[in-house]
Amino acid sequence: METNALKILLISPNFPEYSARLAEALGKKANVFLILDRTTSANECLPIILSGLNGITVRTYGLTSRKRFIFDIIPMLFNMIIFRPDIVHYQEYARARMYFLLLVMKSIAKIVMTVHDPVPHFGRDTEVFAKNRLTRLISKRMRNLMD
């Protein structure tokens, strides 16, 4: 990969196999650093898929667990800043801890977000949004972060 190629940091708390495939496709034209949730990737993604991502840096951290996130935030942020991405592509709905992490990254990169279920729908999403004012507030703030 060219040294002046676009640098994309892809952060995905969920959908590890999809994210690995996306990273693989992006890696054909850009330098890609893929960050996955440790537990989700262990449960849902075959190790052979991640090991087959040639030229793509893959790290796993505790993205979905508050406790693990607290322990992982410093090394994760350090690796993100060292990579110096042009674009940070975050996948999935907003959590307060990720909002603040992306707010820090906005100072060095453009933020892009893919939300697979942008409108809460029947099931758990509806319950979470109905009961959690912080989730609604962070979701609104995340939309404003993507300018």
Residue 115: pLDDT band with limits 50, 70, 90: confident
Check whether 89 has a pLDDT greater than 90. Answer: yes
**Confidence at residue 142, expressed as pLDDT on a 0 to 100 scale:** 63
Average pLDDT over residues 75-96: 88
Average pLDDT over residues 98-119: 82
**Confidence at residue 131, expressed as pLDDT on a 0 to 100 scale:** 61
Residue pLDDT, tens place only, 5-43: 899 999 998 888 889 999 999 999 999 999 998 888 888
- Per DSSP, 14 falls in state S
Q: Which residues of 79-105 are buried (b: 16+ CB within 10 A; e: fewer)?
A: ebeebebeebbbbbbbbeebbebbeeb
Task: Classify 58 as helix, strand or coil.
Answer: strand
Residue where the block lists tokens 């190790």: 47
**Confidence at residue 31, expressed as pLDDT on a 0 to 100 scale:** 95
The pTM score is 0.78
**Confidence at residue 88, expressed as pLDDT on a 0 to 100 scale:** 95
**Confidence at residue 63, expressed as pLDDT on a 0 to 100 scale:** 85
Nearest to 11 by CA among 44, 37, 41: 37
**Confidence at residue 52, expressed as pLDDT on a 0 to 100 scale:** 74
Q: Which of 78-82, 89-93, 124-128 has the lowest mean pLDDT?
A: 124-128
